[in-house]
């Protein structure tokens, strides 16, 4: 009987040594934007990897992931960052990357507008940087560009400070395209979004999408996100044919999953609410 692996020491480079594909890179970000440093490793063993990040040579409490992100301020200018990575039998240290923080001179921009099919009376507006609650949380900052819906209120998420919830006077029509005008929204440096910024979105545009995962030569799993409730999976031999239930979904790892047995011929699948 051989010695126990890992007791007291694991064999050096067990399952293959960790190697760095790309270490943390020098970054330049505007003040009040998110700075992110990351590392990419080759880990042939597939064993779990532990990370420890450092700032100016001192350990950063709680920074134990493959990447490290934070809000950059002027006090972070010229700070240096590095990371140690270790798994059973192997460890490695990255080089040092430097952060350059410059004044924020760029106005905020809207990166996404979400209209949920489960709540057609609310819009979720996301910005590319932190914005002020006084402007992004003001209902007067949002208006219909075509006068086909009204805005009653708005609020800014106090945690991420980039996502505003806009309350509408009534529900939108599912599937219809709308335009919204955003004005007066400012970032933390006082830069204001361009006047007359108009964006287009589709009401209920977050309808769930199906995903298929082949299990073997006989079975496949068809799934959609578990938060999407009230849907049933249906199947048909052709798009013009009769649609019948395809099975009962089971929630697995945050998705509604239906296991399908392969049969000869084509099959089409859809969600029906």
Position 10 in a domain: no
Note if the bond before 25 is cis, omega within 30 degrees. Answer: no
> Buried b / exposed e across 252-271, counting CB within 10 Å, b at 16+?
eeebbbbbbeeeeeeeeeeb
What string of DSSP letters covers 87-131?
A: ETTEEEE---EEEEEE-------EEEEEEETTEEEEEEEEESS-B
Q: How many domains does the chain have?
A: 3
**Domain extent for 187:** 110-202
Position 14 in a domain: no
Distance CA 39, CA 101 (A): 21
- Please identify, among 158, 183, 202, the residue that sits at the C-terminal boundary of a domain: 202
Long-range contacts (CB closer than 8 Å, 24 or more residues apart) made by 206-209: 206/114, 206/115, 206/116, 206/117, 207/117, 207/271, 208/271
Percent of the chain with pLDDT over 90: 63
Position 8 in a domain: no
Note whether 89 and 129 are same-domain residues: no
Q: For tokens 């972070």, name the residue.
A: 76
pTM for the whole structure: 0.69
Strand partners, 175: none
Position 187 in a domain: yes
Q: What is the pLDDT of residues 187-238, one digit of tens each?
A: 999 999 998 899 999 998 877 778 888 777 778 888 888 766 678 899 998 8
* The pLDDT of residue 3: 42
Note whether 69 and 140 are same-domain residues: no
Note whether 92 and 176 are same-domain residues: no
* The pLDDT of residue 156: 97
Note whether 181 and 226 are same-domain residues: no
Q: What is the pLDDT of residues 9-40, one digit of tens each?
A: 556 666 688 999 999 999 999 999 999 999 99
Note whether 96 and 114 are same-domain residues: no
Note whether 96 and 115 are same-domain residues: no
Q: What is the pLDDT of residues 30-69, one digit of tens each?
A: 999 999 999 999 998 888 999 999 999 999 999 999 999 9
Position 129 in a domain: yes
- Please identify, among 202, 233, 249, the residue that sits at the C-terminal boundary of a domain: 202
Position 142 in a domain: yes
Q: What is the mean pLDDT of residues 162-169?
A: 96
Say which CATH number the domain at 97 has: 2.60.40.10
Position 49 in a domain: yes
Position 11 in a domain: no
Note whether 60 and 25 are same-domain residues: yes
- Please identify, among 182, 202, 222, the residue that sits at the C-terminal boundary of a domain: 202
Q: In terms of Cα–Cα distance, which of 100, 165, 99, 163 is closest to 130?
A: 163
Say which CATH number the domain at 190 has: 2.60.40.1220
Distance CA 231, CA 248 (A): 10
Q: Is the pLDDT of residue 267 over 90?
A: no
> Is 260 within 8 Å of 219 (Cβ atoms)?
yes
| 107: its two tokens | 């106005």
Note whether 188 and 220 are same-domain residues: no
> Is 102 within 8 Å of 115 (Cβ atoms)?
no
Note whether 150 and 168 are same-domain residues: yes
Note whether 198 and 216 are same-domain residues: no
Note whether 98 and 82 are same-domain residues: yes
How many angstroms from the chain centroid is the CA of residue 268? 29
């Amino acid at each position: 009987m051989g010695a126990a692996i890992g007791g007291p020491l694991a064999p050096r480079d067990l399952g293959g040594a960790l190697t760095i594909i790309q270490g943390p890179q020098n970054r330049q970000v505007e003040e009040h934007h998110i700075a992110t440093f990351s590392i990419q490793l080759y880990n042939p063993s597939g064993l779990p990897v532990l990370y420890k990040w450092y700032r100016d040579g001192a350990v950063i409490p709680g920074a134990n992931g493959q990447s490290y992100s934070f809000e950059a301020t002027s006090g972070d200018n010229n700070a240096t960052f590095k990371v140690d990575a270790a798994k059973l039998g192997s460890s490695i240290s990255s080089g040092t990357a430097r952060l350059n923080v410059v004044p924020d001179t760029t106005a905020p921009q809207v990166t996404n507008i979400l209209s949920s099919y489960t709540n057609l009376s609310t819009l979720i507006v996301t910005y590319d940087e932190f914005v002020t609650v006084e402007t992004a949380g003001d209902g007067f900052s949002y208006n219909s560009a075509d006068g086909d819906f009204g805005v009653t209120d708005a609020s800014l998420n106090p945690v991420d400070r980039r996502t505003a919830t806009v309350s509408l006077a009534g529900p939108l029509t599912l599937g219809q395209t709308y335009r919204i005008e955003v004005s007066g929204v400012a970032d933390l440096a006082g830069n204001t979004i361009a006047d007359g910024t108009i964006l287009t979105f589709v009401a209920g545009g977050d309808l769930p999408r199906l995903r298929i995962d082949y299990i073997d030569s006989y079975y496949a799993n068809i799934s959609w996100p578990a938060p999407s409730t009230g849907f049933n999976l249906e199947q048909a031999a052709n798009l013009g044919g009769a649609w019948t239930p395809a099975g009962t979904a089971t929630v697995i790892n945050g998705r509604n999953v239906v296991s399908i047995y392969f049969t000869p011929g084509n099959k089409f699948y859809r969600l029906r609410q």
